[in-house]
Structures are given as C-alpha cells and as structure tokens.
Amino acid sequence: AENSFKKSENKWVLKSDGLIMKTYNPQDLTDIFMNVKCPIYIVYGLMSQIFSKELLDYTVYVGNIPPERVVGIPSAMHHLFIDQPLKFIEEIKKILKKESLNDKD
C-alpha cells in the first residue's frame, strides 16, 4: 500500500484522484456473474477500501467460488499490482499454471 500514497503539504494522500468515485456508476451484474462458464478466481488487496469483506463474501456466494480460488494479498490496497507487484505476479502465475494443468485433463 505504500505505493498508493504520496506526501503532500506535510500529509500523506492517495495518489489516485479522490473524485473518481463520484463518476462511478455501479451496476448489478449478478445475473451475468452467475452464468460465467469458466473458473473464477479472486485476487484482491487485503487493505482495499473498495473491495470490502461484504463484497468479497457476496461475490464468493454469487459466483459459487471455492475458497482455494480466493487470494488476499497482504499490504495491498485496490491496485494490488502497484502495491505488491511481485506477489501479484506470483499469484497470477499460480492460477495460470493450475488452469493449464486442468486443461490437460
């Protein structure tokens, strides 16, 4: 998460635009999500202020995602590929390897 902040006038602020959420238009994609035909994995930042525990639980429930396909990355906020790039790459490689092995069955 240390890469998500910058020092500004003797305080730390998010590097991202604080007003971006005002442009966000959430949509309910439950029906679409429930009909995805490929394996679903969730890789998220444990410190994310956007992807809450409630949203995680709902997503896992609706997508019928088994626990072994849910990976929380420590010390990462929403942009985990910025906050923890090496850990993010490691987890994505694990998923790709696992799925490529499953394709051989």
pLDDT, tens only, 18-47: 666 677 667 787 888 888 999 999 999 999
The amino acid at 38: C
Q: What is the pTM of this model?
A: 0.73
The secondary structure of the chain in percent helix, strand, coil, rounded to multiples of 5, reads 45, 15, 40
48-66 CB burial, b ≥16 within 10 A, e <16: beebeeeebeebbeebebe
Indicate the fold that domain 2-16+27-94 takes in CATH. Rossmann fold (3.40.50)
Kindly report, residue by residue over 39-56, the tens digit of the pLDDT: 999 999 999 988 899 999
- Domain residues of the chain, as ranges? 2-16+27-94
Q: What are phi and psi of 103, to 5 degrees?
A: -65, -25
Whether 30 and 23 have beta carbons less than 8 Å apart is answered as no
